[in-house]
Amino acid sequence: MTNLIRLDHTHVLTAFHQYELGSSERLRKGLVDNVCLAIEIHAQLEEEIFYPALRVVADTEMLRKSTPEHDEMRGLISRLRNMPVADPAFDDTFFELMRHVMHHVADEETLLLPAAERLLPDQLSELGAQMTKRRLELAGPRAPELASSMARSMSGGTLVGIGSAMLAGAYLLTRRGPGDRLAAARKRFSRAV
One domain, residues 115 and 130: yes
For residue 69, give its domain range.
Answer: 2-154
**∠ CA 123-127-130 to the nearest 5 degrees?**
150
- pLDDT, tens digit, 9 for 90 and up, residues 131-144: 999 999 998 877 77
One domain, residues 8 and 83: yes
pLDDT reported for residue 189: 47
- pLDDT, tens digit, 9 for 90 and up, residues 114-162: 999 999 999 999 999 999 999 999 988 777 776 766 776 665 445 444 4
Alpha helices in the chain (DSSP H): 2-18, 25-45, 51-57, 61-81, 89-107, 113-119, 124-139, 143-152, 156-174, 181-192
Q: How confident is the model at residue 163 (pLDDT cuts 50, 70, 90)?
A: very low
- pLDDT, tens digit, 9 for 90 and up, residues 49-89: 999 999 999 889 999 999 999 999 999 999 999 999 999 99
One domain, residues 150 and 129: yes
One domain, residues 119 and 162: no
One domain, residues 54 and 110: yes
Is the pLDDT at 164 greater than 90, yes or no?
no
One domain, residues 82 and 28: yes
Our count of domains for the chain comes to 2
pLDDT reported for residue 178: 45
The identity of residue 162, as a single letter, is I
One domain, residues 24 and 87: yes
One domain, residues 101 and 192: no
DSSP-derived 3-state class of residue 29: helix
One domain, residues 94 and 165: no
